[in-house]
Amino acid sequence: MSFQQWQIEMLNLVNAERARYHRRPLNLDIRLCHSAQEHSNYQAHTNAMTHNDSSGPLMTRVQRRVPNIRGCAENVAWNQPDVRSVVQGWINSPGHHRNMLGEYNIVGFGIQNKYWTQVFALA
């Protein structure tokens, strides 16, 4: 899996927001992109926005892909029309914004049928 243009656009928007708060930029991680995509697929399959899926809670899901993480967070959204809209929605939400600014160094993104997922981790 190579990175898609929308993922690069999302990374640039997230890192621009992090820069406004003097946070280090995140690196796009293929393993986290797989994790985020699997979660977006699950949400689309069940027609439900959730942080849990059949493989367990967030930390369990992420550690399957990146075993040595020291922390993680996730943002999910539904029905946003494009990257800019979903990122702005997360920026406008205090809890989601806090995740975007957290002490993480890698990130992954997924989308399926307008179910968006961001996964942040400290590796």
Domain definitions of the chain by residue range: 17-108
Q: Tokens for 1?
A: 């899996």
Task: Convert 24-36 to b/e letters by CB count within 10 Å (16 or more is b).
Answer: eebebbebbbbbb
Q: Tokens for 114?
A: 């307008």
Q: Specify the pTM.
A: 0.94
Give me the CATH topology for the region 17-108. Pathogenesis-related Protein p14a (3.40.33)
List the chain pLDDT tens, one digit each, 123 residues.
Answer: 579 999 999 999 999 999 999 999 999 999 999 999 999 999 999 998 888 777 778 999 899 999 999 999 999 999 999 999 999 999 999 999 999 999 999 999 999 999 999 999 999
